[in-house]
Amino acid sequence: MVIPLAERYRDRLPFTDATPVVSLGEGSTPLLPAPRLSRRLGVELWLKWEAANPTGSFKDRGMTVAVSKAVEEGAQAIVCASTGNTASSAAAYAARAGIPAVILQPKGAVASAKLAQTRMYGARILELRGTFDEALEAARELAAVGTHSLVNSLNPHRREGQKTAVFEIVDELGGAPDAVYLPYGGGGNTTAYGQAFLELDGRPSRLVAAEAIDRAGTLASAIRISEPVHAASVQEALERTGGHVVTLSDDEILAAWHDLAASEGLFCELCSAAGLAALAKEPPEPGATVVCVITGHGLKDPESAGWLAPPPVVVDPDPEAIAEAAS
Ligand code: F0G
């Protein structure tokens, strides 16, 4: 049985006896060795498979805390802006809590399966004729009216929950790895990881934040965010841990994405390969212990597979034709 975050890390989270914990069994995700990529890159590489969370992304770690606290504080509804994953997660936890969720998302810029999830969970989805940054502004304005509780990562409870990924990594490796690489969109997750290391004793891991060079137009739609709202706290976390930002082209992210699937058997969504792309582009010292955080599942964005993977071969039910096509 999966132990919910609220139980596993209760002493490090803002839960009280009065908090009605809203959980879908998030956290405790696999930390997988990556033998082929380790050999090729000359490091000891581990992959934190956050796609194993209930809605298929790391967002659930923060959402269990944010929605639980919202319900404790008497919220009647929640709201968020999203490129898709926060939306699915917010909608799922709202359904679990029995309260409505309003989603603001940029029209035409959300991967199909994320939208399917969010619709099935019953959220009210508003497609904005505008960018993610404008959607976030609109969500903040709606929350300011007082009717809806904001569950974007500006909500500190979200970051509290997301920091638990670091606790799991450090617990499992028996100490902090030399470096942790993760995708950098708005920067809430990098900020949360920085917070986690502040709370742990000992040397922190260098945090490496992997961002798209073309923030406004990257193919990696989950991190298509022009203005990272947490830029200042990301900078602070990187300085404190001795880390840095790596800026990536879409081709570099695509290559890492393909590698994760074909070399290690992990099909993630495109943006989730950004950490690995940063590692390949700016490798650390040989032999370093490194974790790449794989933030979301590839099944959330099935159309993208068509960009790199060959289509199936069509055959007749004829043994000779099949043998020929199979080789
Ligand atoms: N990985 C995935 C799969 C994401 O969905 C996101 C952000 C990130 C990484 C970047 O995290 O913003 O904390 O730096 N997704 C948000 C959303 C924007 O709406 O789902 P960040």
- pLDDT above 70: residue 253: yes
Residue 5 is which amino acid? L
- Ligand 1 atom nearest the C-alpha of 225 is 18
User: Token digits for 228?
Assistant: 């990272």
Separation of CA 308 and ligand 1 centre (Å):
22
pLDDT at residue 1 above 70?
no
Ligand 1 centroid–CA 198 distance in Å is: 22
- Scored b (16 or more CB within 10 A) or e, 103-124 reads bbbbeebbbebbbebbeebebe
**Which ligand 1 atom is the nearest neighbour of the CA of 83?**
19
- Pure H helices in 98-249: 112-120, 132-145, 156-162, 164-173, 188-199, 231-241
What is each CA distance from 323 to 40, 310, 314, in whole angstroms? 33, 19, 13
Contact 268, 296 (CB under 8 A): yes
Domains, the chain, ordered by start: 5-57+157-307 (3.40.50.1100), 59-155 (3.40.50.1100)
Whether the CB of 123 sits within 6 Å of ligand 1:
no
DSSP summary character for residue 186: S
Residue 180 pLDDT: 98
Calculate helix-pair angle for 274-281, 250-264, nearest 10 degrees: 100
Amino acid identity of residue 207, one-letter, is L
Mutational pocket test of ligand 1: of 59, 153, 155, 276, the residue with most ligand atoms within 8 Å of the beta carbon: 59
- Report residue 24: phi and psi, to 5°: -120, 20
Model pLDDT, residue 327? 86
User: Strands 179-183, 289-294: parallel, antiparallel or unpaired by DSSP?
Assistant: parallel
Work out the pLDDT band at 125, boundaries 50, 70, 90.
Answer: very high
Mean pLDDT score, 53-76: 98
- Residue 305 predicted with pLDDT over 90: no
Q: Is 118 in the pocket of ligand 1 (CB under 6 A)?
A: no
* Mean pLDDT, rounded, for 104-120: 97
pTM of the full predicted structure? 0.97
pLDDT tens column, 73-87: 999 999 999 999 999
CA-to-CA distance for 271 and 277, rounded, in angstroms?
A: 10
CA distance 152 to 118: 15
Q: Are strands 44-49 and 31-33 parallel, antiparallel or unpaired?
A: antiparallel
Cα 186 to ligand 1 centre (Å): 7
